[in-house]
Structure 1
Amino acid sequence: MPEPTQDTAALWFGREAESLSAAEQSVLAAARQRAIISRDVEQGFAEQLSFGQRLADQVAVFGGSWSFIIVFAVILAAWVLLNTLLLVRPFDAYPFIFLNLILSMLAAIQAPVIMMSQNRQAARDRADAAHDYEINLKAEIEIMALHDKLDHLRTEQIEALLTKQQEQIALLTRLLQAAPPRA
């Protein structure tokens, strides 16, 4: 990646090139080269995930769904019905101490797994935000460059128009001087 020149850094950022962050230097270099900087941030994250991380994400997706709530409600209702009404000798009689133990263990395992998934999602969101910043910064630089080009073209057109007008005035002056006086 070529180094941004002092002129372009001062022009677009108002600072010296050495004081620019790595992202700003990268964006400035990409803008100077007219290179595309957009990329699929999600793909980079997905390729780095281990089996455990993918499993944690799936547990978090299922654990935060209506399917989980419905399945869990059905299992709890079946447990209670089985141990209160259907079995002569219930394996977990009221107050359902074994059920409480299972629910506590499930919560103790599910909470950290969901937190791991949320932490990964937060890291993914930070990477997305950093990438969005780079894209927005490059777009802003490109827009400012277009404004400069338009200003330059407008200045050239005005100068050409003034030159043309001066030539026309000079021609009219010569014609008036060369014309015979009217009587």
Structure 2
Amino acid sequence: MQQDEINTMIDQSNENLRKLQKIVATTMEEEQLIINNLLHPPKEILSSGQRISDKVARFGGSWRFIIIFTLVLAVWIVFNTMAAKELEFDPYPFILMNLVLSCIAALQAPIIMMSQNRQEEKDRMRGENDYLINLKAELEIRSLHQKLDLLLNEEIKALYESQVAQLKLLEKLEEKIEKMEKK
């Protein structure tokens, strides 16, 4: 009888382990898609126009560009105001300089916008990856909660069954003691 009770307790323990293994396997299957997305993000293939727009935007938004452009404009203005009349190529009010500046602004603005749009797309994808990482963490936490709940339920059940078995043993012992006292 006692051997049967011990075997039953071992079987229940094995069943608990099988349930935990099932939860772990299910969690790993749910997380596989997330892990695959994080480990193998889609590769970005850039056209030559996109590479050029990135370089122009990077250079056009730098201090180096601002300093070089300021120096060019200063040299342009100084040369055209100080040079002899026959050497001036853009006399005051610098109409050619205004045309060049307008053309640079007209070309640079859409190029920078293209680069910013691509950067927005990268940021959106980074945000999606952050979301997937958070989702993965949430799934892991949920899995841990399930494991803990299962363990607690099984532990309570095992304790209850152990107490029942102990009570039965105590009752048997009490019966044996009563029989011995009667003899």
User: TM-score if structure 2 supplies the norm length?
Assistant: 0.73
> How far 1:104 sits from its partner (Å)?
0.2
Paired residue for 1:49, among 43, 46, 60?
A: 46
In structure 2, the residue corresponding to 1:179 is in which secondary structure? helix
The aligned residue for residue 71 of structure 1 is 68
Q: CA RMSD, aligned part only?
A: 2.3
Listed as ranges, the gaps of 5+ residues in structure 2 are: 1-25
Structure 1 runs (4+) greater than 3 angstroms displaced: none
The aligned residue for residue 132 of structure 2 is 134
Query: Which residues of 2 match residues 97-136 of structure 1 at below 5 A?
Result: 97-136=95-134
In structure 2, the residue corresponding to 1:44 is in which secondary structure? coil
Work out the CA distance in 2 between the residues paired with 1:172 and 1:30. 44
Work out the CA distance in 1 between the residues paired with 2:30 and 2:105. 53
Paired letter, 1:39? L
The answer as to whether partners of 2:56 and 2:111 remain within 8 angstroms in 1 is yes
Identify if the C-alpha distance between structure 1 residues 119 and 34 changes in structure 2 by more than 3 Å, giving closer, same or farther.
closer
Paired letter, 2:112? I
Q: Report how many aligned residue pairs link the two structures.
A: 150
In structure 1, the residue corresponding to 2:43 is in which secondary structure? helix
> How far 1:32 sits from its partner (Å)?
1.7
More contact order relative to length (CA 8 Å, sep ≥ 6)? 2
Listed as ranges, the gaps of 5+ residues in structure 1 are: 1-28
Paired residue for 2:59, among 62, 65, 69?
A: 62
The aligned residue for residue 84 of structure 2 is 88
> How far 1:155 sits from its partner (Å)?
1.1
CA offsets 1:74-129 (integer angstroms, 9 cap, x no match): 111111111112x1122111111111000000000000000011111112222222
Identify if the C-alpha distance between structure 1 residues 100 and 34 changes in structure 2 by more than 3 Å, giving closer, same or farther.
closer
Work out the CA distance in 2 between the residues paired with 1:125 and 1:107. 26
CA offsets 1:114-149 (integer angstroms, 9 cap, x no match): 001111111222222223323322332232122111
Question: Between Structure 1 and Structure 2, which shows a larger proportion of helix residues?
Answer: 2
The answer as to whether partners of 1:92 and 1:99 remain within 8 angstroms in 2 is yes
The answer as to whether partners of 2:50 and 2:115 remain within 8 angstroms in 1 is yes
The answer as to whether partners of 2:80 and 2:89 remain within 8 angstroms in 1 is yes
The answer as to whether partners of 1:59 and 1:114 remain within 8 angstroms in 2 is yes
